[in-house]
Structure 1
Amino acid sequence: MRWHLYRIEQRVREAFVRDAFSEYEDPELRRLARAVYSLPGLPYKVFALMRFDGLTYEQIAERLHISPQRVQNEMGRAMTLIIRSKKRQQREGW
């Protein structure tokens, strides 16, 4: 159920960032930025703490009060959502 809600939430967020990041000349980089910033709550937090702050699964788990396994699962979801968003943006011509 959570996975389905994440996909719906991401679609809504994508609508708000559709024209964002026009300062990036490379369309692939623009799609990546939109995909990352359209991630739903927990997957975004986990992704940001890992990729932007360089924290480990254990550090993220401690900070967010969840298990390291949950961090790993949410990171996997974040990566899947990013890939799907980039493909959707390219397919729809953004």
Structure 2
Amino acid sequence: MKHEIKKNLYDVNVSINSIFDYLGDELDFTEYLNNKLLRRAIEREIEIIGEAINRALKQDPDLQIENAKRIVDTRNWVIHGYDKVDDVIIWGLW
């Protein structure tokens, strides 16, 4: 596997772990809704995850990543449809 692909997959892993760190052990939707900084941090990590997967797939289109299209589409939705981001959908990802 190419070094750049490994780097992208590492970035995905770091972002996923960061999201779980941000949320802590007590996942609470109300707290999520009331904490703009938390929401924005998670949205940013989703952007990183989607971009890293997109880059990895460009390097190797045969790379098997479950739900890759859905992940990249979610990234695009968060970035380009920022005014339509639905907190319920974002919360449901985790």
Is the TM-score greater than 0.5? no
TM-score (norm 2): 0.36
TM-score w.r.t. length of structure 1 = 0.36
